[in-house]
Structure 1
């Protein structure tokens, strides 16, 4: 017989969704067992958000060095030392990991259990013979890199994003299969570090889940940067060559490169964990929940990438906080999925909150939607940064702003204000009266709302 332990909450998974659940539940005086088979922090900290952004920053430094003469600075890029780049990246991860370990240790009511857990009862998780029983169970087992039939990543010529993060060199050439967030970010960083890059996307445009104007702006920027991309190119076949790989797409077109990155999305980690056996309602491997993140089993919740919807660390984090407060009887407000910020950290960055123009017209009717686009060419901070892009607003007729879309260097830092505007259902005139510091890119948000409120200042007809 294994050891038996009882807790208020048992959390299966220690990524952003899982550890946020655990920390918030502990704050609310609930006893928590959090099970993690690898390292707390999950994919985001160790194999996703954080390492990719560190590489993107290294790429930004490389680009700035190449382009330094534009600013009167004489510098020369003599090479990229990937060993040192990876050391920098790993240092950022280590700092975050130690910080998270410290937070969990300080949360006296959280017991972290190392090992592969499995749901063996409606309120019981088993880890190496130890049975953890919870009045409530929260499933937070995360996601993995998907592939396609005929594609077997080997870590040498055919890579997943996890392999790519550990690469010890800058490849001469790369084919990126998938033009979504992961594909565009890796294409961006590899181009910055000196590789020849081609993106293959099965759908008609890059970043197909973003507003169409955002996609078009990124495509224009990628052309200027020398990043090749081919939309409407579904994958058909992979072959190995003496020097790398050969990829065949629909129509018979072939491309060759040193490496292939498979970036066709992420799947839920749910197989073999006892979910099916316990009768949890599933859909294509995802866990179905209601709006309060409850599964069909009493007192069993799910958060993060295993719940259908955008697979974002901050979404999982917020869901974890929500579930902890729900369990504690705080009756938190339901999370509006449309109000969760979405960011692609390529160069230029893409950031959005709320509905795209197409989605808004479908939901409310085309005659009820007004849009306005403010070009960053009129924003002096953007001129200082030498970035091109825009702020686009989608407004319900004579009503609030229901979508905000931004493209440009560093626009991710504007997304918090954009989130407030959307979530507070602000009218253009509400934002127009706010004071935006000068010179900042946030002025572009202010100018766009001034224009929609009928009083544009720095806008040319």
Structure 2
């Protein structure tokens, strides 16, 4: 950071995926960029979300399949007899997070992005205060992310009622845990916790796990979770919580009572927009989210916003893409957001991924559809790798054969979904996908087979 340079072309508040991408786009255009972060570089995704949870998932899978021992050439902690399995997992997770965070620091230094540590607060349409410094900017970008809000009656205490950061930083794991909420976060945490020997009960008030996903893949994941020993309770609503000498007692509507060592609240996110961040600037809000136009410009023309603070899908890859558009527009372009297909991924075992409309959503919109199904049990690569749990479901618009939805539960689903998202972006039809030559044996052939189930093609 160069403290003498207090005027910038773009000032960014928040260094998560949206802020990080915006900083790089603007810096590559030779703009003067300031990036403000009050916690660790990389935001929630890198430090307490995407990366640490995927690291723990990887360790959990290793423990479940191969045990905790290390191999020659691996990090010393794998063979440290004084470390528990959880201790090794924490060491591995922390190493990966640090590696990526140091990479960010190196990139910012190389690109001459000035990094300010502290809470950024708007003081005007072109002024941001951080600590005791005032920065002036032609444009400002808000990318402050979101947080898990306290749930009335289930307030966090850091010991018995916890949120994701508490768990990721925990020195030890409880013997049992109740997870309130079976969305992506709840399911991912349940998946790796059970690999570490924690007895997990997953509570969801909707009809299925992952209620935002197609019910076919939700049911498939539920079957896999039951095989893992996860106690899945759907259509159950938490009524009240007791703290006991041994942990917590959760009372459900209807009279059922659950007990565990801890309760993890995995319900909801809200934008990180406290009054100090917005300051005296009169930004237009809608239900607590910043209102932006198709260029990510707020009601104050010099201020832009992306990611969780504007609502919509609260996904890192969405914020990343929005950050690129916002930075381009803030530095001279006028490019509207194209509203592309957005894949959603859940990193469980098996993985879950989806893009576009579910069958139920398409029907609710009055769209006549065709549905194709294919199963991992008939996929050569899945059989050879003993990864036969799962399926692929495609939703095709009957009027023109175009792919409008794809839903997967199975090995590498979070990778395969990129092919479906690309096809949808290009307006591809199920026939075109069915008639492609797909490498064999690959997991991705499950997408081809689902499309072939919808059409008459040369491969029938």
Report if TM-score (shorter chain) is over 0.5.
yes
Matched, 1:379 2:382: no
Partner of 1:199: 202
CA contact (8 A) 1:360 1:369 kept: yes
- Residue 316 of structure 1 and its aligned partner are, at CA, apart by 0.7
- Residue 273 of structure 1 and its aligned partner are, at CA, apart by 2.9
Match of 2:6, SS state, is strand
Q: Distance in 2 between matches of 1:276 and 1:220?
A: 49
2:447 to 445, 448, 458: 445
Spell out the pairing of 1:123-142 with structure 2 (5 A cutoff). Answer: 123-142=126-145
- Residue 333 of structure 1 and its aligned partner are, at CA, apart by 4.8
Q: Distance in 2 between matches of 1:234 and 1:149?
A: 14
Matched, 1:51 2:52: yes
Partner of 2:159: 156
Matched, 1:93 2:97: yes
CA contact (8 A) 1:4 1:131 kept: no
Q: Quick one: structure 1 residues 171 and 274, their matched pair in 2 at CA, closer, same or farther if it must change by over 3 Å?
A: closer
Match of 1:452, SS state, is coil
- Residue 331 of structure 1 and its aligned partner are, at CA, apart by 3.5
Partner of 1:278: 281
Q: Distance in 2 between matches of 1:311 and 1:385?
A: 33
Partner of 2:62: 61
- Residue 302 of structure 1 and its aligned partner are, at CA, apart by 0.7
Q: Distance in 2 between matches of 1:29 and 1:357?
A: 46
- Residue 457 of structure 1 and its aligned partner are, at CA, apart by 5.1
Partner of 1:244: 247
Match of 1:293, SS state, is coil
Matched, 1:219 2:227: no
More divergent stretch after superposition (79-88 vs 219-228)? 79-88
Q: Distance in 1 between matches of 2:386 and 2:412?
A: 9
Q: Distance in 2 between matches of 1:90 and 1:55?
A: 10
Match of 1:273, SS state, is helix
Partner of 1:9: 10
- Residue 323 of structure 1 and its aligned partner are, at CA, apart by 0.7
CA contact (8 A) 2:294 2:336 kept: no
Partner of 1:311: 314
Partner of 1:73: none
Q: Distance in 2 between matches of 1:386 and 1:414?
A: 15
Matched, 1:330 2:317: no
CA contact (8 A) 2:25 2:328 kept: yes
Partner of 1:424: 426
> Deviating runs (4+, > 6 A) in structure 1?
none
- Residue 373 of structure 1 and its aligned partner are, at CA, apart by 1.1
- Residue 434 of structure 1 and its aligned partner are, at CA, apart by 2.2
CA contact (8 A) 1:36 1:113 kept: yes
- Residue 80 of structure 1 and its aligned partner are, at CA, apart by 5.3
- Residue 346 of structure 1 and its aligned partner are, at CA, apart by 1.1
Matched, 1:400 2:402: yes
Partner of 2:78: none
In the alignment of these two chains, the number of paired residues is: 442
Partner of 2:111: 107
Deviation per residue, 1:258-312 (Å, 9 max, x gap): 1111101221100123426311111232212122212111121111111111111
Partner of 1:70: none
Spell out the pairing of 1:286-301 with structure 2 (5 A cutoff). Answer: 286-301=289-304
Match of 2:100, SS state, is helix
Deviation per residue, 1:359-400 (Å, 9 max, x gap): 22233x14x211111111110111223331111111111231
Partner of 2:169: 166
More divergent stretch after superposition (202-211 vs 86-95)? 202-211
Residue segments in structure 2 that go unaligned for 5+ positions in a row: 68-80
CA contact (8 A) 1:355 1:394 kept: yes
Q: Distance in 2 between matches of 1:215 and 1:335?
A: 29
Partner of 1:346: 348
- Residue 92 of structure 1 and its aligned partner are, at CA, apart by 0.4
Deviation per residue, 1:167-194 (Å, 9 max, x gap): 2233211100011011000111111111
